[in-house]
Chains A and B, each alone.
Chain A
Amino acid sequence: MVPSQAVAVHDLAQRMGASEVLRISELVVNSGEIICIRGRNGSGKTALLRLLMGLSRHDCLSGEVSVLEQDIRRIGLSDLARLRADAIGFVFQHFPLVPHLSAVDNILLPCYFSARRKSEAQKRAQSVANDAFRLIRKLSLQDPSRLAKKASEYSAGQQQRFAIARALIGKPSLVLADEPASAMDSHGKRAVYQLLQEECRATGATLICTTHDDPAIDGVNGLDGFDRYLDMGDLNQAGVSPW
């Protein structure tokens, strides 16, 4: 059964060391909703997504954080691993890929750890590799068959594309994208945001995408089409994030 709320945060307070990084009274994202969180650098966007991934859950002081109906602060290690493998796709701005694995292996990583995502990818394109190629083609890569090189040999923009393909492969229920197009030109950015939206709408997945791009200044049209736009400055009452 699909949960009605993909993400629910109430009265959250999180510190890292001496600084308070997140103070959010309420954030609810419904299942299948596609939202964009905008904010300047250091406003806490990355901190929020890392928390939703369960990466910094031990730094929470108070509040409730629920992801796909799992209490992220109390979930066991094994269940958290299963949740991440089966249901969450992510794109983080820094260190997008395992540098010494090939690009295709990086894209297929979630399928190695989740039978569910492997099976979904196979259902969609007969094989997991075909699904990887399908996603890569949509990201405007000229020759998707050349994916055997080590990830570190590709440009930052290409690596980010591979990371997006990895996040989308195998139909995850929730996609967290932290500035997914930061290393791309405007054409690339448009392709990335379109693909994320299309794929999530097609599969019914929830998408939470963060960006510091301001369409008014940067002229990034790809930021159109989200169901909802949130401002991290309004959402987060805390001071400056270390990110």
Chain B
Amino acid sequence: MVILKMMGTSLGQRAGRATLSVLALAFSFALLLVISHIHEAVRSYARQVSSEADLVISAPTQPMHLVLYSLFGIGTPPPVLPWSVYEDIAAFAEVEWAAPVAANERHEGHTVTASTGHYLDTLQLQAVNFIGRTEVGTTFRNERSAFIGADLGHLYHPGEVLPIASELSPSADDVPDSSFIVQGVLVETGTSLDKNILVPIEGLRTIRRAQGISSDVINFMLIKLHDRGSLAGVQQRLQEAYPVPLAVVDPIIELARLGYYERMLNKVFMAMSFIIGLLSLLMIFFNLAAAFTERRDEVELLRMVGARPWQLAGLTLAEPLLQMVLALFSGSVLYKLCTLFLGRWIPLVNRIDLPVEQLFWLLLLFLLGFGLACLPAWRMYGVSKKT
């Protein structure tokens, strides 16, 4: 008990420096956890969306732009392609299914993404149906059904009418034939799709025709092949022999490239956090080492009242350990607060819990700290034995 009291009062002697070290270490712990969390969330989402489609096709654009928009909803929609191109490619013998996606329409400023059930399945979107059925699913009830993104759920009621306007035409608010009906709300995806309205592309085309819009275009299409072995042939045919210039992208390859940059960035951030942690540990260590000389008399006195060397070594070890545990606790609280805050504008982070294996760096830092704390404790043991 007196050992703990002495540790507390001794720590109190260096309260300013100790608090600074604990805060720096807590910040480093939190940063390590947050970076690991974001990394894991991005990886998990990338794994999820890259499993279905073999190719993404649009009018010529940067491959990364196409993948980022088509799979993550990041950036602006790619340039348009005629509907006939979609029909033509979808009819290839190698193609199992094709999902056209149009994203140029708006409803009250919200992007309307028109596609088929395959697109929803590829992104593994789920929705709660308000009309017709109560079970979870994403099948459009009819060509006038609409799913609204999770973030728009509070703005619309089931059965509410959504008039759609095209960027290519004046507002169509007053045209009854240009409306969709809210069928359900999508489960949160963590991407900009949460702010979109998803409608069946056939319904959109009908509305376009009703509005007298002659251009029948899409922004991109997803392709699933019967056999992935035919991918290179199809890709070559589309890029080199197709009469219309196209951007043809294998999402797996682009995601791998994206993953490479993401991992590199992640490593840089991890290294930075680790260095901050290491510096904090060194700060704790040097605080202890500086106090060591001052405490020689104290050690002698305690030895004379009967303190054992291991008790004094324990006292020296307990002080940095207490600081590390405090930092770990504060770092975890800070991490939780950060993910709550981040989750508001990067909802992707809400989709996962941090896997245990991601705590490796944290554990390594803790063990390093323990090792560093053992040095002055060992020295104290040696000095105590001589008195």
Residues of chain A having any CB pair with chain B under 8 Å = 53, 55, 58, 77-78, 81-82, 84-86, 88, 90, 92, 94-95, 97-101, 105, 108-110, 112-114, 150, 166
Of all chain A residues, the one with the shortest Cβ separation from B306 is A85
Instruction: Using A100-B10, A112-B2 as known contacts, say yes or no to A81 and B303 having CB atoms under 8 A apart.
Output: yes
Of all chain B residues, the one with the shortest Cβ separation from A166 is B305
B308 CB-CB contact with A under 8 Å: yes
B290-332 interface (Cβ within 8 A of A): 297-298, 300-309
Residues from chain A with Cβ under 8 Å of B298 in the complex = 95, 98-99
Residues from chain B with Cβ under 8 Å of A84 in the complex = 303-306
Partner of B301, one of A58, A98, A105: A98
B5 CB-CB contact with A under 8 Å: yes
Q: Do residues A55 and B387 form an inter-chain contact, with CB atoms below 8 A? A: yes
Closest 7 CB pairs of A and B: A85-B306, A113-B306, A112-B2, A95-B297, A100-B9, A109-B305, A84-B306
Q: Do residues A105 and B2 form an inter-chain contact, with CB atoms below 8 A? A: yes
Q: How far is the CB of B308 from chain A (nearest CB, A)?
A: 5
Residues from chain B with Cβ under 8 Å of A58 in the complex = 386
Q: How far is the CB of B273 from chain A (nearest CB, A)?
A: 34
Q: Do residues A100 and B12 form an inter-chain contact, with CB atoms below 8 A? A: yes
B13 CB-CB contact with A under 8 Å: yes
Contact sample, A vs B, 15 pairs, CB 8 Å cutoff: A58-B386, A81-B303, A82-B306, A85-B306, A88-B304, A90-B304, A97-B301, A98-B298, A100-B6, A101-B9, A108-B2, A109-B305, A110-B306, A112-B305, A113-B2
Q: Do residues B307 and A113 form an inter-chain contact, with CB atoms below 8 A? A: yes
How far does the alpha carbon of A197 sit from the alpha carbon of B386 in the complex, in Å?
32
Of all chain B residues, the one with the shortest Cβ separation from A94 is B297
B379 CB-CB contact with A under 8 Å: no
Q: How far is the CB of B73 from chain A (nearest CB, A)?
A: 60
How far does the alpha carbon of A235 sit from the alpha carbon of B84 in the complex, in Å?
117
Q: Do residues A98 and B302 form an inter-chain contact, with CB atoms below 8 A? A: yes
Interface core residue of B5, B9, B298, B305 (most chain A CB under 10 Å):
B305
How far does the alpha carbon of A113 sit from the alpha carbon of B3 in the complex, in Å?
10
B1 CB-CB contact with A under 8 Å: yes
Partner of A95, one of B10, B301, B385: B301
Q: Do residues A77 and B385 form an inter-chain contact, with CB atoms below 8 A? A: yes
Give B1-26 as 1s and 0s: 1 = Cβ < 8 Å from A's Cβ atoms. Answer: 11001100110110000000000000
Of all chain B residues, the one with the shortest Cβ separation from A90 is B304
Of all chain B residues, the one with the shortest Cβ separation from A97 is B301
Residues from chain A with Cβ under 8 Å of B10 in the complex = 100
Instruction: Using A58-B386, A77-B385 as known contacts, say yes or no to A101 and B304 having CB atoms under 8 A apart.
Output: no
Q: Do residues B307 and A81 form an inter-chain contact, with CB atoms below 8 A? A: yes
Give B271-303 as 1s and 0s: 1 = Cβ < 8 Å from A's Cβ atoms. Answer: 000000000000000000000000001101111
Residues from chain B with Cβ under 8 Å of A166 in the complex = 305
Q: Do residues A109 and B303 form an inter-chain contact, with CB atoms below 8 A? A: no
Q: Do residues B386 and A53 form an inter-chain contact, with CB atoms below 8 A? A: no
How far does the alpha carbon of A85 sit from the alpha carbon of B2 in the complex, in Å?
14
Residues from chain B with Cβ under 8 Å of A108 in the complex = 2
Q: Do residues A78 and B308 form an inter-chain contact, with CB atoms below 8 A? A: yes
Residues from chain A with Cβ under 8 Å of B302 in the complex = 98, 109
Q: Do residues B12 and A109 form an inter-chain contact, with CB atoms below 8 A? A: no
How far does the alpha carbon of A109 sit from the alpha carbon of B305 in the complex, in Å?
7
Residues from chain B with Cβ under 8 Å of A99 in the complex = 298
B352-387 interface (Cβ within 8 A of A): 385-387
Q: Do residues A112 and B1 form an inter-chain contact, with CB atoms below 8 A? A: yes
Q: Do residues A86 and B306 form an inter-chain contact, with CB atoms below 8 A? A: yes
Q: How far is the CB of B145 from chain A (nearest CB, A)?
A: 74
Of all chain B residues, the one with the shortest Cβ separation from A101 is B9
Of all chain B residues, the one with the shortest Cβ separation from A96 is B301
Of all chain B residues, the one with the shortest Cβ separation from A152 is B13
How far does the alpha carbon of A78 sit from the alpha carbon of B307 in the complex, in Å?
10
How far does the alpha carbon of A86 sit from the alpha carbon of B304 in the complex, in Å?
11
How far does the alpha carbon of A112 sit from the alpha carbon of B1 in the complex, in Å?
8
Q: Do residues A109 and B2 form an inter-chain contact, with CB atoms below 8 A? A: yes
Residues from chain B with Cβ under 8 Å of A86 in the complex = 306
Q: Do residues B305 and A101 form an inter-chain contact, with CB atoms below 8 A? A: no
Given A77-B308, A109-B302, 14 other A-B residues pairs in contact with their CB atoms under 8 A? A53-B304, A55-B304, A81-B308, A82-B306, A85-B305, A86-B306, A88-B304, A90-B304, A98-B6, A98-B301, A101-B6, A112-B2, A112-B305, A113-B2
Interface core residue of A81, A94, A150 (most chain B CB under 10 Å):
A81
Q: How far is the CB of A2 from chain B (nearest CB, A)?
A: 20
Q: How far is the CB of A104 from chain B (nearest CB, A)?
A: 11
How far does the alpha carbon of A55 sit from the alpha carbon of B387 in the complex, in Å?
5
Q: How far is the CB of A138 from chain B (nearest CB, A)?
A: 21
Residues from chain A with Cβ under 8 Å of B300 in the complex = 55, 95
Residues from chain A with Cβ under 8 Å of B6 in the complex = 98, 100-101
